[in-house]
Amino acid sequence: MQQRSLVPASEAEVSVKWLRNTLASAFPNITFETIRAERVGEGFGLASRIVRYRWDSVGPPRSVVVKLWDTDGPGGEREVSFYNSFGKAVGARIPACYHAAVDSDRKRGVLILEDLRNVVQGDCLRLLALDHAKAVARSLAGVHATWGQNDENSQSRMAP
């Protein structure tokens, strides 16, 4: 089980101290004194709360995306498991995960992800332009090829 301090219950619990301490293992020299928060993805019906945190610092990163959710909902604890196991070798460009934790007692999860600033939130109700559709297809092909070439994954699909 993770320590409770590693899994904030809300955006209000994401303080400068918590964020700096949590990022220290990935970025030992990180320093900043203030953070600015911006909600992300509110208009897309996501079951989680996603917040971009920005700060002024000498070196990167200068921002991250923090995802908070209740684990008794549809996502459960699976996203943390994904980033802790398959996420590094998914076969497509996904945000780097700097921290992933679940507090099973309090039924909540947290991810601290790389802020991919130039990414546009997709919307399943809007058609993609042809060039974007091709890029998505290539990305998904990479994911499927990676999954299919992994012996452990192949064996799990074959099991009854």
Q: Which residues contact 78 (CB under 8 A, 6 or more apart)?
A: none
Most confident of 10-19, 77-86, 131-140: 10-19
Share of the chain above pLDDT 70, in %: 81
- Give the contacts of 10 (CB within 8 A, at least 6 positions apart): 49, 68
For residue 61, pLDDT over 50 is answered with: yes
Order of all β-strands in the sheet with 108-114: 36-40, 49-54, 63-70, 108-114, 97-103
Higher pLDDT, 154 or 65: 65
Average pLDDT value for residue range 103-111: 90
Query: Phi and psi of 86, rounded to 5°?
Result: -80, -25
- pLDDT at 53 > cutoff 90: yes
The pTM score is 0.77
Q: Which residues pair with 146 in a beta bridge?
A: none
Whether the per-residue pLDDT at 1 is higher than 90: the answer is: no
Question: Cβ distance 7 to 110 under 8 Å?
Answer: yes
